[in-house]
Chains A and B, each alone.
Chain A
């Protein structure tokens, strides 16, 4: 490809919670940015460009928030781009920022993503009923629940798999000081006893509504060499329409294509044995086995067996979402960049209590819309080709 090498040299995130009413949107972003800059040991003079990711403007009711946030993002006199690919936006923000370095256009780029869900109500914003239609939509849960049912039917998975994922991710969240939900005592049984919201999705299998932000500093080889760095081995994005006849809503082609491109670029032949840890976008518990299959970590129909065997827990063959994932914190626009940042933190050895021992290759993943936008990256503790 002729791409320049690029690496994450710093990450930062907010203490995610339901309502961050002590800060404005600008202050929320800066909490993550200031932590990322401190982690990277950079200051504003080092930053050449800023990329902001944000999910639909209806979530905060601010059109093009990148404009009023420019001062806070340190973007005065610098290129400022806004990225929007629905829930996957945090991931695609990372990819866009990486591409600005890989292309040789910039040496150091700040990527930021945020959502301040408490300013509005995402369930309302995702359930706008246009005229002429049957008003049966019920937010993201109402959209995805039928497809989860399809997965269960197609794979023959037993009903408790979703609860296994939820209990694991929430317990992982208890190891993460930034997580919104910390539930060290949650069990598969308690998840199964929680209220059914959008049958077959239960309350405890559903992501929270969070305020939060994430930031990463991506640098070129000259800046990153000789210092702790999460080298970017591959990035991929693919898109498909929300609906078309014959569309596979359980395992969309765009996700498969993105993964195939990612593994090829990273030189990974057998993802499940070559990847040490994965941060996968799982807003509803069942999406863990669904994405394990879609990404090629397991054969089709086998994802739930991998989960059931405990292989996705910390200490398993492929720990998935040791940070607690989207099920523990969901500032929507930031959630994808959090997956990317957590992947980088793992290979940097900076994940603290939820560090996966010896993590050298990690995947960050995000999806959005009606499972129609996919963003992925692979980061490694060594430079690409050095493995």
Chain B
């Protein structure tokens, strides 16, 4: 019997990409300025100087083009103490998030203030930019702001071609949790069993089980153990490599309809030339060695031809 546990299974799902930003004329000017230790604002239709510069006027929506360099010192308009910074924030030790209205600007710029402790922070206090050690043309070229009585740090500007692009790495770390029914199915896989569920209303057998029938909306509790053989309903041959791919192309990605199931799932077909794979081909699971099994469909390394005659089209046509 399958070990029954009520705890749903969880596993990490980490998603990350180095996104590239084309900055356009306004943000490009701002980024280029930062790298050279100047801060560009832009004058809005109401005469205010907006920092960071807006591409389009917040009042009239017209394109803005009148750049105004502002000071590198300013006044804290408001602030909040960040006692436990997260990875990727401007400073790794405690700091204040603050809106800093730079001299000559009419709006506040959100950044970090390295004040040491919250009792050194106050609304109305003056602060100055601490430039980053290696400016690249990004808001991070301002390492942070600091109180005027801090020991100044000598940093060199960089002059070069205009900054037009920015790379923004973004990483999301999820805890992916399976449903109770899917967890039961996954624990079944860890014991070499394929467990589905039958809908009490339409009698359709789902694998993986959903816990409820997507057609009838009723709970599915009737467990069905399915064999590890079935039919290829349809498939494609993946010839194209791509970022994040885990199977080396070319490979056959096929919908496998297990005998007794009413919905196919995607899996890999090996064991014959890709050109020999066909709709209706009978296949059976090729399991990985038992000591490599986990709570995953990857316990089945692939499906391969069983050698039985092809299933007639009519037998799987309603599953396409």
Task: Judge whether B72 is part of the interface by a CB distance below 8 angstroms.
Answer: no
Q: Which of A115-123, A303-311, A326-334, A360-368 is the interface stretch?
A: A115-123
The 10 sampled A-B contact pairs (Cβ below 8 Å) are: A26-B56, A60-B19, A125-B17, A128-B13, A134-B298, A138-B245, A149-B234, A198-B239, A245-B202, A245-B204
Given A131-B11, A200-B236, CB of A136 within 8 Å of CB of B204: no
Residues from chain B with Cβ under 8 Å of A44 in the complex = 60-61
Task: Judge whether B92 is part of the interface by a CB distance below 8 angstroms.
Answer: no
Counted as pairs of residues, one from A and one from B, with CB atoms less than 8 Å apart, the total is: 189
- Decide: A146 and B170 in contact? CB cutoff 8 A: no
- Decide: A136 and B24 in contact? CB cutoff 8 A: no
Expressed in whole angstroms, the minimum distance between the Cβ of A58 and any Cβ of chain B is 8
Given A123-B243, A136-B247, A146-B234, CB of A76 within 8 Å of CB of B20: no
Indicate with 1 or 0, residue by residue over A128-150, a CB within 8 angstroms of chain B CB atoms.
11111111111101100111111
- Decide: B206 and A245 in contact? CB cutoff 8 A: yes
Given A138-B253, A199-B239, CB of A130 within 8 Å of CB of B176: yes
- Decide: B267 and A134 in contact? CB cutoff 8 A: yes
Q: Supply 9 further A-B pairs (C-beta < 8 A) apart from A61-B170, A150-B233, A153-B234.
A: A72-B55, A118-B20, A123-B243, A131-B296, A138-B253, A141-B236, A146-B236, A198-B236, A198-B238
Given A72-B56, A154-B320, CB of A134 within 8 Å of CB of B22: no
B234 interface neighbour in A72, A116, A150, Cβ under 8 Å: A150
Q: Which of A17-25, A95-103, A339-347 is the interface stretch?
A: A17-25
Residues from chain B with Cβ under 8 Å of A71 in the complex = 54-58, 61
Task: Judge whether B251 is part of the interface by a CB distance below 8 angstroms.
Answer: yes
- Decide: B17 and A124 in contact? CB cutoff 8 A: yes
Given A20-B22, A24-B24, CB of A123 within 8 Å of CB of B313: no
A26 interface neighbour in B24, B170, B267, Cβ under 8 Å: B24
Determine the distance from Cα of A195 to Cα of B247 in the docked complex, in whole angstroms. 20
Residues from chain B with Cβ under 8 Å of A149 in the complex = 234-236, 279
A127 interface neighbour in B233, B245, B255, Cβ under 8 Å: B245
B55 interface neighbour in A27, A138, A139, A244, Cβ under 8 Å: A27
Given A26-B55, A136-B251, CB of A61 within 8 Å of CB of B19: yes
Expressed in whole angstroms, the minimum distance between the Cβ of A35 and any Cβ of chain B is 14
Expressed in whole angstroms, the minimum distance between the Cβ of B77 and any Cβ of chain A is 20
Q: Which of A1-9, A246-254, A259-267 is the interface stretch?
A: A246-254
Task: Judge whether B148 is part of the interface by a CB distance below 8 angstroms.
Answer: no
Residues from chain B with Cβ under 8 Å of A120 in the complex = 17, 19-20
Task: Judge whether B246 is part of the interface by a CB distance below 8 angstroms.
Answer: yes
- Interface residues in A, total, Cβ within 8 A: 64
A123 interface neighbour in B242, B266, B268, B320, Cβ under 8 Å: B242
- Decide: B19 and A24 in contact? CB cutoff 8 A: no
Residues from chain B with Cβ under 8 Å of A296 in the complex = none
Determine the distance from Cα of A130 to Cα of B21 in the docked complex, in whole angstroms. 27
A131 interface neighbour in B55, B59, B165, B176, Cβ under 8 Å: B176
The secondary-structure label for the interface of chain B is mixed
Indicate with 1 or 0, residue by residue over A61-91, a CB within 8 angstroms of chain B CB atoms.
1000000000111101000000000000000
Determine the distance from Cα of A76 to Cα of B60 in the docked complex, in whole angstroms. 8
- Decide: A138 and B240 in contact? CB cutoff 8 A: yes
Q: Closest A-chain residue to B55, C-beta based?
A: A26
Q: Closest B-chain residue to A121, C-beta based?
A: B243
Residues from chain B with Cβ under 8 Å of A197 in the complex = 239-240
Task: Judge whether B168 is part of the interface by a CB distance below 8 angstroms.
Answer: yes
Task: Judge whether A196 is part of the interface by a CB distance below 8 angstroms.
Answer: yes
- Decide: A132 and B186 in contact? CB cutoff 8 A: yes
Residues from chain B with Cβ under 8 Å of A26 in the complex = 24, 55-56
B positions within 8 Å CB-CB of A = 9, 11-13, 15, 17, 19-27, 54-61, 63, 164-165, 168, 170, 176, 178, 182, 186, 202, 204-206, 214-215, 233-240, 242-247, 251, 253-255, 262-263, 265-268, 274, 279, 295-298, 300, 313, 317-320
Determine the distance from Cα of A333 to Cα of B54 in the docked complex, in whole angstroms. 24
- Decide: A27 and B24 in contact? CB cutoff 8 A: yes
- Decide: B22 and A23 in contact? CB cutoff 8 A: yes
Task: Judge whether A201 is part of the interface by a CB distance below 8 angstroms.
Answer: yes
Residues from chain B with Cβ under 8 Å of A198 in the complex = 236-240
Task: Judge whether A170 is part of the interface by a CB distance below 8 angstroms.
Answer: no
Q: Closest B-chain residue to A19, C-beta based?
A: B22
- Decide: A138 and B238 in contact? CB cutoff 8 A: yes
Residues from chain A with Cβ under 8 Å of B202 in the complex = 245
Given A71-B61, A123-B243, A146-B235, CB of A132 within 8 Å of CB of B295: yes
Residues from chain A with Cβ under 8 Å of B262 in the complex = 245-246
Residues from chain A with Cβ under 8 Å of B266 in the complex = 134, 136-137
Task: Judge whether A222 is part of the interface by a CB distance below 8 angstroms.
Answer: no
Q: Which of B186, B240, B262 has the most CB of A within 10 A?
A: B240
Q: Closest A-chain residue to B232, C-beta based?
A: A146
Task: Judge whether A241 is part of the interface by a CB distance below 8 angstroms.
Answer: yes
Q: Which of B58, B205, B253 has the most CB of A within 10 A?
A: B253
Q: Closest A-chain residue to B296, C-beta based?
A: A132
Given A146-B235, A244-B214, CB of A119 within 8 Å of CB of B242: no
Nearest 10 Cβ contacts at the A-B interface: A145-B236, A74-B61, A131-B11, A199-B237, A24-B24, A245-B204, A245-B262, A61-B19, A150-B320, A21-B22
B297 interface neighbour in A24, A118, A133, Cβ under 8 Å: A133
- Decide: A135 and B238 in contact? CB cutoff 8 A: no
Determine the distance from Cα of A132 to Cα of B50 in the docked complex, in whole angstroms. 49
Residues from chain A with Cβ under 8 Å of B242 in the complex = 121, 123-124, 127, 138-139
Q: Closest B-chain residue to A200, C-beta based?
A: B236
- Decide: B165 and A132 in contact? CB cutoff 8 A: no
Determine the distance from Cα of A123 to Cα of B243 in the docked complex, in whole angstroms. 8
Interface residues of A in 272-298 (CB under 8 A from B): none
- Decide: A129 and B170 in contact? CB cutoff 8 A: no
- Decide: A134 and B297 in contact? CB cutoff 8 A: yes
Determine the distance from Cα of A64 to Cα of B206 in the docked complex, in whole angstroms. 35
Determine the distance from Cα of A119 to Cα of B251 in the docked complex, in whole angstroms. 29
Expressed in whole angstroms, the minimum distance between the Cβ of B214 and any Cβ of chain A is 4
Residues from chain A with Cβ under 8 Å of B263 in the complex = 243-245
B246 interface neighbour in A129, A132, A244, A249, Cβ under 8 Å: A129
Given A136-B266, A249-B320, CB of A146 within 8 Å of CB of B19: no
- Decide: A21 and B165 in contact? CB cutoff 8 A: yes
Task: Judge whether A180 is part of the interface by a CB distance below 8 angstroms.
Answer: no
